[in-house]
Structure 1
Amino acid sequence: MDDVPYDVLRVFCGPDGRHGNELGVVRDGSLLPGRAERQAFAGKLGFSETVFVDDPERGVIDIYTPTLRLPFAGHPCVGSAWLLDVPELSVPAGVVGARLDGEFSWIEARAEWAPPRTLRRYGSAAEVDALPVPPSGEWIYAWAWEDEAAGRVRARAFPGRDDGIVEDEATGAAALLLTDRLGRALNIRQGAGSQILTAPQPEGWIEVGGRVRLAAAR
């Protein structure tokens, strides 16, 4: 397991190319074919999510946190769409549309695919900035309007898990849920300086997009 190569991407980088949520990607999923092996490797890497690519041409991917397998997740899909450059991704939740548009990588998914999140609104961006990390147990997406007319949101994400990840720098699935609730396109500034863009589409689909950078190949 120690010699399995993987890439590290930063997904949802800010306009200056910094920040973003780190994502581990094992391009050759056949090196770790079993779920137990993949779970152990994801736990060893310690990223909020790790992707195993099972078919790069068809975009078949498998997503793990350090402690569990996910049927869908936002930033792993956006990062994989950028890396594989395919028109769609296949995850257990369904088929995810994918496209590249200039500096942004986009996916199209459904809010019901996202795991449950508590979307907690605050009165100002300053209140969100000042929040301490809450006790574990509840996955909280704290948000406030920075400019409601322009659709600009300030957000922070607290997974409430016991795997050492107390705050998630950029969370596509939570942005998907917030967009579904508000019914409008959003420009989200999350964490230390990550940027997530969203846009509702017909028939319940929602686009989620952001910048992706290759941080390392190991």
Structure 2
Amino acid sequence: MGRIKPQALLQQSKRKKGTYHMNPMTIIIYTLTLVIFVFFLFATFKYWSNRTRFQPKNHISIFEDENPSVESKKSDLPGYAVLMTSKGSIIIELYKESAPEIVDEFIDLCQKGHFKRMLFHQVIKHYVIQAGHNKGPESYEDWNLRGKKYTSMQHEAFMLGTSKGEHFNKRFDLFITTAPIPDLNEKLIVFGRVVKGEDVVQEIEEVDTNEHYQPKISIGIIDVALRQMM
């Protein structure tokens, strides 16, 4: 066999080493390519993940009913009103669920000062006390006759309401019952009840009145404060 020249052996040795060692520039290029590929995969995953996550929310906002927002609005309304009268304070729980529109109007009128210095101008013992605009003797006769006509008792005392007739005429008087009124729903829009201060209501009820059930002394509402909780 012929002898292999030293130069040929050196070239063979270099080729073998080249298969195990990479050029630094090649390593850098491979690394950058790998980083770009990983970044692309991450960006793609994040895009599809966000799209999947937000699709249900858009679906709900378009197709679901709006009850949650309504419930939120109701919960934001004050739940109690404090009638500060010349005889003491009367705390009212407002019926936000059963009479939301009336409660909204009542709250709006409170904020506008509608009930400040409003007088209790009719007091019918064992029946009702009324604060508002003095209408004359015809109103007490209607209440008194209807109260004596019926004997069944379907409603409790110390309920707060406003007259349906007055409400439709853009007036908002306040009525607090002092005894069960059988035909209450025919007369009043009930939107609250007294939870504290029944003794103040009874003290107002006991004042002396004339033949038209009008108090002989002035008793009125000084102001109304609204409360979220009591």
Provide the TM-score with structure 1 as the length reference: 0.23
Q: Which has the higher helix share?
A: 2
Provide the TM-score with structure 2 as the length reference: 0.22
Q: Select the structure of larger CA radius of gyration.
A: 2
Higher-RCO chain (CA-CA 8 Å, sequence separation at least 6): 2
